[in-house]
Structures are given as structure tokens and as C-alpha cells.
Structure 1
Amino acid sequence: MSDVSWQNDNLGPTEAAVVISRFGQHADIETTEQEILRCNIRRTVSSLVCGDEVIFRRAKVSDGDLAGVIEAVHERRTQLTRPDFYDGVKVVAANIDQILMVSAVVPEFTPQIIDRYLVACEDMGIEPILLLNKIDLLDQESLDYVDEVLDIYRELGYRVLLVSTKSGEGIDELKHILEDKNNIFVGQSGVGKSTLVNTVLPNADILTKEVSENSGLGQHTTTVSRLHHLPSGGNLIDSPGIREFGLWHLEVERVTWCFKEFREFIGGCRFRDCKHLNDPGCLIQEAVDEGKISELRFESYHRILESMADGRAGARAPRV
């Protein structure tokens, strides 16, 4: 539908609302009176995502299931982004307070994936919470090992939570963490993200699929981003396609800064173009040798830089 159909004489006064879902040139919004309305989007609105706070006007005479038009978007406090080969950096959701990074012991507990998420969170300025799911599958020895690795992140000031939807461990604490915040879960396929969402939102009817016993891999289950209200009073945005944040759009220096324990050493190396590897006079390497920086995190940092170089090469490659 064109903007011509939305003349001023058919529109009421401006009102405030929040975008709860976006469908092409239309969006579902929720008003301050908790009405859910589907609206057209003005062509002047260049970007609109789930979580955006908007100004809209109702149609005095609606056209089909469209109840009004979104006129403007308030400035975002935060925005969740991911790089896209075709569109550059793409905004996925807006006004997020905290990102719950879901890992699991099945298919595999991978600290490097956690570090990638943390780089993205530090870059976007959104608080990350590390959520390790399926801990009921761990024996005591394995749990001790995982807990030891997670201590690296606790010592850096990151919040860590161990949960199991089967045993119920950690679920009450999880619900408390979500209270009065705009939240989003991120995680690779098979880590139990959808099951966790169903646990905190039992009426959301989000489909789940078990990890394949043959491949150990999960499958995508969500198709459209949507904002849900939590019983605790907070909100949860369930978004498709967020498994791993590509980082190839970031400068190397920015990634270095996003490893928060590196910051006090940045700029102090002997050479300005220090690669923080085998360079003489590298303060970060010295900090690793002295136990001030985790060797696991240091190795993860260099693996991320390698993958970024591969990503940039892919971005430059011609598309057929």
C-alpha cells in the first residue's frame, strides 16, 4: 500500500508504541494501552526493527487489517547488529538491555564461541550474560572442568549462569535476571535456546526440536522476530538466524579492545603495529606469560582474527 492511502485527514493524533514484529512494509506494534495493531510504515522511516519505540497515527477508516501508519522512530538506546555480505551491518533488534549467550555441553561446550559473542556485545555496548544449558548431562568431573573454564569469565566480571530445563536448576535465577529488562537469547543451533524461551514464556508456543542423535546438530525453529512480555514484567525478543555473530566488519584494533582484559596493555607495546603474537616487547604476550591474561582467551583472540580475515575475503569475493 502506498503512502497516498494515508492522507492526514484520515489519520488521528500521534501516539507512542513499541514494535513487536516487522513484516516487510508492515509492522505489529503495541500501544501504551497494550493494544496490538498492524501498521503501514512511512517510506521516510529508513530502518525499523523489533524493539523500536515509534510514533504512529491511527487511521480513522482502516484499510483491511492495517490500523494506521508509523510516522517516526525514536533514537535507539542500543541496537543488536550483525554483518551481512549484501547489506553491510544489519540491525536485528533495538533497545536491548542484555544478551543471554546460550552455550551447552551438547553438541559441544566451546569457549571460542563465547568469546565471539563477547566481542560482539562489547562492541555494541550491550550487557552479556553467559548461560550454560543442559548441565544435567554433565558428570561431576566434567562439571568441575567447565566451571573452571567459566571462572575465567567470572574473574573478568561477566555474569555466568548454569541451567537445566530438565532438572530445573538455575531456572528461577534466570527468570529473576530477565525481570524488567529487554532481553534476547542468542546461541548456535542445538544449545536449547528455544526450549529455554518456552520455559520462561510457557504460552509463547515457540517450536522446539531436539538435537539430532546422528549429527549432534540442531535446526533453526524460529522464523520471525517477535517481542514477548515476560510474566516478571520484562520483555524477550525471540529472533531467527542469530547463532553466531560475524565479526569481519570490525577493525582488528576494535576486536583487541573488545577483549576487556587487554585494554590496560593496549598502546604500550614496543612497536605500534604489534600483532600481539611473537612480536618483541608485546605487553599482551608478556601478560599471558605472567598469568595476567588467560592463555585460552589469548588463543581465542587470534583464532577470531584468522576467521575475520577469511570473512573479509568472502565478503570481497564476487557474488554469482
Structure 2
Amino acid sequence: MTKKKHLTQRQNDRIAGNQQKRLDRLAQKAAKADQQIEQAAFSEAEPGIVISRFGQHADIEAKDGTITRCNLRRTIGSLVCGDAVVFRRALQSQGTIDGVVEAVQERSSVLSRPDFYDGLKPVAANIDLLIIVSAVLPALSLNIIDRYLVAAETMQIKPLLLLNKIDLLSEQQRTEVEQQLDIYRKIGYETLLLSAKSGEGMAQLDHYLSQGTSIFVGQSGVGKSSLLNNLLPEMGVVTQEVSDVSGLGQHTTTVARLYHLTQGGQLIDSPGIREFALWHLSDEEVSWGYREFRPWLGRCKFRDCTHGNDPGCALHHAVETGDIAVERFDNYHKILLSMAQDKPSYL
């Protein structure tokens, strides 16, 4: 009986190497075949914009104005309304899904809000103007306005303060509201009083909207959907009145969506947010978000100053001299307190 020859380690390595090369060639052939099949299944890549996002799908508008519902590549980590993307259309209809998003372009800006379960959640991208919609019903809340302004300053998005439903105000009430808004005008914020019902202020709103991509944000029930109906009556956006029981608006928009306006520009309608939390920011970021605080930051007597009743507090001094409005200073501390209370325990 012939004794079986044992292979040397070098020979075993050579055989294993040759086997791996064959496997690599087969894998390359398979990948090339898959690529050829995909090339045959989809058209050439083209630019588009996200009109709306639905779970694992998104509606993408191409330059020719057509809208394609697309799947998302697994490599895409985040996609929101307003994102500029690269996508490919299916050459043959696949039911309701007729394309695939290949990549997302770099964002010029992104509006995010903290979610207790999902962390910081993006809402919309590439925004030029953040329109903070308030109304006299529910009652005008300067605290909500300040929260949005801090967010706008942090994300470097230009804000516009819009007070809706002013047709419900008496002459005296309107004077009082003007005084409240003067607090913001004095520190450089633009304001607009408007009534979707009477049409007052709509021409000025059209001018703002025509400048780029805007987004309506604010509590539910302040009339965002009514404004959208006025701007785009053919869309028939559903609206709901403020609840008589809770005094809060009812959510009428469930998914952010981008609309093109006849006067030019784009408008993103976002789901109503009853309270815009800021617990994802640091105290220092909130302080910086108050633009009139900035000349006074770093000038307190003590480095660990909490800007309350601390001796030598520069911000407290600015309040006493009228350089910082008492209302804004009070809201600042309310925001810091709510951040500490609302912050999830896992952070």
C-alpha cells in the first residue's frame, strides 16, 4: 500500500489562495451581473428633491416636475422633506414603488427636534426661512416663540414671527399684542400680523415665501393649515378647530410635505408641535440662542454664574438697565428649568 503524501504548509497555503481567487472571481462576476441587471432595471441617476417621507419610502420630485415614490438605499442614514437627492427611476413600474434613492446631497440647514424615544429627530432640510406661527387662540405664548427662536439661532435659520387670527383682536388687544411683539422687533426679529380670514398681511407673507424654502412651525391649532389652504386652495388641506375642552389645537398635518407656490418659492408644512423641547442643548447653547444676551456673556463676576440672582451677574444687570427684556429673561430660566425636567434619564 502506497503511503499517502502529506502536503507542506506552503502547498496548503497555495491551494487555499487559489481557491480564494476563484471565489473572488465568481463574486466579481455575480456583482457585475447584478449591476447589469440593475442598470437594465433603472434609468440613469438624476437629481431630485424630497417632497415627503413615508417610513422606508419617499416621494421624489425630479427637475421635470414628475414625482416618483422611491425605496431608499440601506446606506442612507437620514432622509427628510426638503433634502436634495440623487435617484433613479424604474424602467418598468413595480406597483406603487417606481424608483430608488441612491444618495443624499449635503444639507445647507436642517430643522431637528428632540424626541423622547428617538433622540434628535430631523424634521426638514435646506430651509431658508423658519416661520414661527402663533395666534391669539390658543393664547399668544412668548415662551413658545422663544423656544423656536433658540432653535433657529442654534441651526442658523432665519426666523419670521407670524401672528395669525388677528381679526379676532379688539383694538385694545391689538395694541397689547403690538407691545409684546416690540420686544422682538427691538432685537432685530421681523414680525408679521396676519389674518387668513380677512386677508390682512397676506401680500407681505407672499413676499417672504417667494424668497426660497420656508417652513411653518408652531403649536397645533394656530392656523397653519388654514394659511396653507389660503396659499394653495387646490390642495384642500384638512383643518380642525381648537378643542373647546383642552384649549389645544388638534393635529391636522401628520407628515411634513413640500409645496410649490405660484408666487415662487417652496413651503414645507410640518406636523404641529405643541411644545418644542430643547433638552438636547446645553445651557450655554440656550444662552447663545438669545441674541441680545451675547454682548453680556462672559462678563459675569463669577465663571459659574447661573444668571439668576448671582452677585455680579452681567445678564441680570442688563435686565435692570433695560438692555434685556424681563419677559425674555424669565422665559430663558423657564426653558432651562424645563430642560432639566424633560431630559430623558438615559442621557
Bin the TM-score by the shorter chain.
over 0.9
- Counterpart of 1:227 in 2: which secondary structure? strand
Task: Report the TM-score when normalising by structure 2.
Answer: 0.87
Q: Counterpart in 2 of 1:275?
A: 306
Distance 1:237 1:203 in 2: 16
**How far apart are the structure 1 equivalents of 2:211 and 2:285?**
31
Judge conservation of contact 1:119–1:255 (CA < 8 Å) in 2. Answer: yes
> CA contact under 8 A between 2:220 and 2:273: conserved in structure 1?
no
What amino acid maps onto 1:173 in structure 2?
Q
One-letter amino acid of the structure 2 residue matched with residue 10 of structure 1: A
The equivalent of 2:256 in structure 1 is 225
Q: Deviations over 1:70-113 (max 9, x none)?
A: 10000000001001122211111111111111111112011111
Q: Which residue of 1 aligns with 2:186?
A: 155
> Which amino acid in the other structure matches residue 90 of structure 1?
K
Q: In structure 1, how many angstroms separate the alpha carbons of the residues matched to 2:236 and 2:259?
A: 11
**Please, what TM-score do these two structures have when normalized by structure 1?**
0.94
Q: Do structure 1's residue 26 and structure 2's residue 44 form an aligned pair?
A: no
Establish whether residue 303 from structure 1 lines up as the match of residue 331 from structure 2. no
| Alignment partner, residue 88 of structure 1 | 119
The one-letter code sitting in structure 2 at the alignment partner of 1:92 is: V
- Whose helix fraction is larger, Structure 1's or Structure 2's? 2
Cα offset, 1:7, TM superposition: 2.5
| Equivalent runs, 1:49-60 vs 2, <5 Å | 49-60=80-91
Rg (Cα) greater in structure: 2
How far has the Cα of 1:305 moved from its partner? Answer: 0.6
RMSD (Å) for aligned C-alpha atoms: 1.6
Query: How far apart are residue 145 of structure 1 and its match?
Result: 1.0
Q: Distance in 2 between matches of 1:115 and 1:260?
A: 11
1:20-45 Cα deviation digits (max 9, x unpaired): 01112211110011111111111011
Question: In the TM superposition, what is the alpha-carbon distance from 1:13 to its structure 2 partner?
Answer: 1.4
Asked if residue 179 in structure 1 is aligned to residue 210 in structure 2, the reply is yes
Q: Residues of 2 paired with 1:244 and 1:34: CA distance?
A: 35
Identify which of 221, 233, 242 aligns with 1:211.
Answer: 242
Cα distance, 1:317 vs structure 2: 6.8
Q: Is the 8 A contact 2:252 2:272 kept in 1?
A: no
Aligned twin of 1:164: 195
Q: Distance in 2 between matches of 1:179 and 1:295?
A: 35
Identity, in percent, stands at: 58
Q: How does 1:278-297 map to 2 (within 5 A)?
A: 278-297=309-328
**Offset at 1:189?**
1.8
Shift of 1:187: 1.2
What is the aligned residue count?
Answer: 313
Q: Per-residue CA shift, 1:118-149, capped at 9, x if unaligned? A: 11111111111000011111111111111011
The residue identity in structure 2 corresponding to 1:98 is L
What's the offset of the Cα at 1:217?
Answer: 2.4
